[in-house]
Structure 1
Amino acid sequence: MPFSIRPYRRFPAQSSVTYNAGSFQGQGTVWNLSLSGLRLSGDLPMRPGETLSLTVTLPNEQRIEIPEAVVRWSRGEEFAAETRLIEPHTQARLEHYVKRLVQEPGKRFP
């Protein structure tokens, strides 16, 4: 796999997630996120290249819907997904959340 630099910094964010790959649904935890993707673990194993949709529930109970993401790597129950499609208003909410993480690292926002 060629080395590549991530376009955005990742931030720790322990949040629940539901994800769908075709007719299969998984439940799991997001361990970190950025403006372009996330790392998570779940009960439905995924393979690199697979496409999925995700619903992330942030610590403040706000839901972030990601209609399309692609799996970049996987190791057992853990994998990373790059966001491919997200609504502009949802992207703005995610940017606002990440901006707060930058301003106050280590704090969970209600």
Structure 2
Amino acid sequence: LIIYELGNVFWKHPEIDADKAHNFIMKFLDLNIELMNVHEDEEVLREICDISKNMNITFYDASYIALARRMKAKMITADERLKRSFPETATLIRELVSESA
């Protein structure tokens, strides 16, 4: 999902032209960060669908929850509802900021 997030950031900023956006995304991909394609993993896709329907959250948000669980990682969010619904998975960004202060 990070590629879509990056793309949306560039879309929201008209001062960044298509060439700059493309170059940045390609440099990001060159970092060789492990990315997971949820479309290719039926088990993750099933979990996303289950979370979305059972917890009444967007497929998009459910994707982050499912991926965080799969990677045994915390999902950082500003969404307090997600934190309440998934306290074992979600961490509020303001909690991290206050911990580091």
Mark yes or no: TM-score above 0.5. no
TM-score, normalised via structure 1 length: 0.23
Higher percent of residues as helix: 2
- Look at both structures and tell me which one has the larger radius of gyration over its CA atoms: 2
Higher percent of residues as strand: 1
